[in-house]
């Protein structure tokens, strides 16, 4: 049985005053029924983890360097994230792939580093609009998965997030048949690589314009084990109804 996961990605948003949103989310009764992860910017990690301590909400990072330490100005390692109180880290988000030229090979090295530090690697994959339109989405995403996923991937240390680039921050969402097709494709690729038992345990999140108004329909889709939520995770008033919908999805 895969435990449902609602993960919030604050991206480059939030100051210390925003930490109150985490406390609000932690008080929601539905947050105890599913797994809730909030990934604030690195500047807020340690304090976010302190505020979430003793609640069911956990805290994660948004990126890490593949090395554990060294001369990499401006970067943060996986052991540093763990030391700050993170339990997970988002890797290979399309914004990092686009803004920082991150390749799937680099994402794989980062995921290996995250797992070695005891963090859950949330590996993001997703096609562009042009790739969706030209019919190559399934192949593109399968290749990203093959190249980004470490051989050490398992249910305890890996979560996948399918995030069509064209749905992120746009208010546009694939129809549920498209989400179901991609998630079942990802599950099959995981099984081919890691075996059926391991593949059945790995959670696959949907991400891209998840909102209170569409969450119930998305969470009813086969093989959707939760969501990676950007904009709607910034305010407890938006994120809690999404968590409610996930808890109600059973
Ligand atoms: C994201 O960037 O991971 C994301 C899903 O963003 P949004 O929910 O704002 O589309």
Q: Tokens 């959670």 — which residue?
A: 203
Cα–Cα distance for residue pair 158/122, rounded to 1 Å: 6
For residue 121, the model assigns a pLDDT of 98
pLDDT tens, residue by residue, 33-60? 999 999 999 999 999 999 999 999 999 9
Packing angle of the helix pair 19-27, 45-52 (nearest 10 deg): 30
Condensed to tens digits (0 to 9), the pLDDT of residues 128-164 reads: 999 999 999 999 999 999 999 999 999 999 999 999 9
The DSSP secondary-structure symbol of 159 reads E
- Tell me if 126 CB under 6 Å of ligand 1: no
User: Could you give the percent of the chain with pLDDT greater than 90?
Assistant: 99
Cα–Cα distance measured from residue 196 to residue 153, given in angstroms and rounded to the nearest whole number = 13
Q: Whose CA is nearest to atom 8 of ligand 1?
A: 230
| Predicted pLDDT of residue 223 | 97
Q: Considering only CA atoms, which residue is closest to atom 1 of ligand 1?
A: 230
Give 72-111 pLDDT, tens digit per residue.
999 999 999 999 999 999 999 999 999 999 999 999 999 9
Task: Count CA atoms closer than 13 A to 211's CA, side-chain side.
Answer: 10
Q: Is 93 a catalytic residue?
A: yes
DSSP assignment letter at 112: H
Average pLDDT over residues 196-207: 98
- Which fold, 5-249? TIM Barrel (3.20.20)
């Amino acid at each position: 049985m895969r435990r449902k996961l609602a993960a919030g990605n604050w991206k480059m948003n939030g100051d210390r005053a925003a930490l109150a949103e985490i406390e609000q989310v932690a008080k929601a009764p539905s947050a105890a029924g599913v797994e809730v992860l909030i990934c604030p910017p690195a500047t807020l990690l340690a304090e976010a983890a302190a505020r979430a301590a003793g609640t069911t909400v956990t805290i994660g990072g948004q990126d890490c360097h593949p090395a554990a330490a060294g001369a990499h100005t401006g970067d943060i390692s996986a052991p540093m994230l763990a030391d700050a109180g993170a339990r997970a880290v988002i890797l290979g988000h399309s914004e990092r792939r686009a803004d920082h030229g991150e390749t799937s090979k680099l994402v794989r090295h980062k995921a290996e580093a995250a797992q070695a530090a005891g963090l859950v690697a949330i590996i993001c994959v997703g096609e562009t609009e042009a790739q969706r339109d030209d019919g190559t989405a399934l192949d593109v995403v399968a290749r990203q998965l093959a190249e980004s996923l470490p051989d050490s991937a398992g249910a305890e240390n890996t979560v996948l997030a399918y995030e069509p680039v064209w749905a992120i921050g746009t208010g546009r969402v694939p129809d549920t048949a498209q989400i179901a097709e991609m998630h079942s494709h990802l599950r099959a690729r995981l099984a081919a690589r890691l075996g059926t038992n391991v593949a059945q345990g790995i959670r696959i999140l949907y991400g891209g314009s998840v909102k209170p108004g569409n969450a119930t329909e998305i969470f009813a889709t086969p093989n959707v084990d939760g969501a990676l939520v950007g904009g709607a995770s910034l305010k407890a008033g938006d994120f809690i109804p999404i968590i409610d919908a996930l808890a109600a999805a059973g």
